Amino acid sequence: MIPVLSIVLPIFGLIGLGVVGGKSRLFPEAAVTGLTNFVLYVAVPALLFRTLVKSSPFEALNPDVAFAYYAGTFAVAGGALAFGRWVYGLSGGEAASFAMGGMFSNTGLIGIPLVFATWGEAGVVPLMVVITFHSLIFVTLFLVLHDMAKSGPSGSTGAGWANAGRAAWHAIATNPVVIAILVGLGWSAAGLGLPGPFAVIIDMLADAAIPAALFALGASLARFRVEGNVPQAMTMSVVKLVVHPVVVFAVAHFVFALSPLETAVVTLAAGLPGGLMVFVVAQTYGVYVARAGTSVVLSTAGGILTLSVLLAWLV
C-alpha cells in the first residue's frame, strides 16, 4: 500500500489545498472559474496533445476499450435508474440524476492526473478512448431523460433526443479536450514532431496540468455543501465508487479480455468520483440539486479510500 499511497495522497492533498483555497478570500468565484478555464482549455489539452504526439497512438488505440467501458457503464446506469425508481420511489428527473451520480466519472480533473501518475503516458492513451465520447454519450442521455420527465407522458421523445443531441454536439465540437485529441491524432499521423521552442511551450503547459487541475477541482468543491437527503447521496457514492468499477472490470476482463493495462485503466476510470456535470445537469433542471452536489462531495472524499484499494489491486 505504501507505493499506492504515494500516488493517491498527493493527488487528494492537492484537492484538499484547493478546498482550503476556495474557502479563502484569495480565490473568489471568478478566480476559480479562471483557473478552471486555464486547466480545461490550455493545460490539459497540452498534456493530451503531447501524449499523442510522443506515443504511437494508432498502434495502442483499441476500440474494445470503449466497448468494455461503455457496456459496463450502461449496465450500471440502467440498474441505478431502476433502483432509484423502485426502491427510493424517485420521479423521472430525480431517478435520472440519481443514476447519473452513480456512473458519471470525473475523468478529466481526477482521471487524467491519477492515470498519468500511475502508468504515465502509456495509461493516458486508453483513457483517451474513454473520455473522447464520455460527455457526448452520457450528457446527451441524461438531458433526454430529464426532458422526457419534464414534458410528461405526452411529451415528444423525438424532440427530447433532438434538442439534447444538438446541445451535446455543440458542447463536444467546442470541447478543448476532444479538439486536443483530434489534433494530436492528426499531428501524430502526419509525423510532424515537435520543434524545439514549440516543444518547450507544450511541455511547460503539460507539466502544469496535473497540479492545476487538482487544485481547481478542490476550489470548485469548496462551494458545495453536504445537504439534502444524505442517505440517498451516500448510496449514489457507493454505486459510483464500488459497484461501477466492479461491473466494468468484469466486462473488460471476462467479456472483452482486454490487456492488463487496458483493464486497469477502464476499471480505475469507472472507480473515479462523480464528475461535476452530475451537479450541473441537476441544477439545469432544478431537480435533485442538493443530493447531486452532496454525492459529488461524498464520492470525492470516499475516493481516497476506495481508489487506494483499487490501485493496490490493479497495480
Tell me: the pLDDT tens digits for 185-200?
Answer: 889 888 888 888 899 9
Residues 6+ apart with CB under 8 A from 184: 48, 49, 50, 51, 52, 53, 57
Nearest to 42 by CA among 50, 31, 30: 50
Domain borders along the chain are 60-195+226-314
Q: Is there a contact between 213 and 278 (Cβ–Cβ < 8 Å)? A: no
Any idea what DSSP says for residue 211? H
> Average pLDDT for residues 148-170, to the nearest whole number?
61
User: How many C-beta atoms surround the C-beta of residue 63 within 10 A?
Assistant: 9
| Three-state secondary-structure class, residue 82 | helix
pTM above 0.95, yes or no: no
Q: Is residue 280 predicted with pLDDT exceeding 70?
A: yes
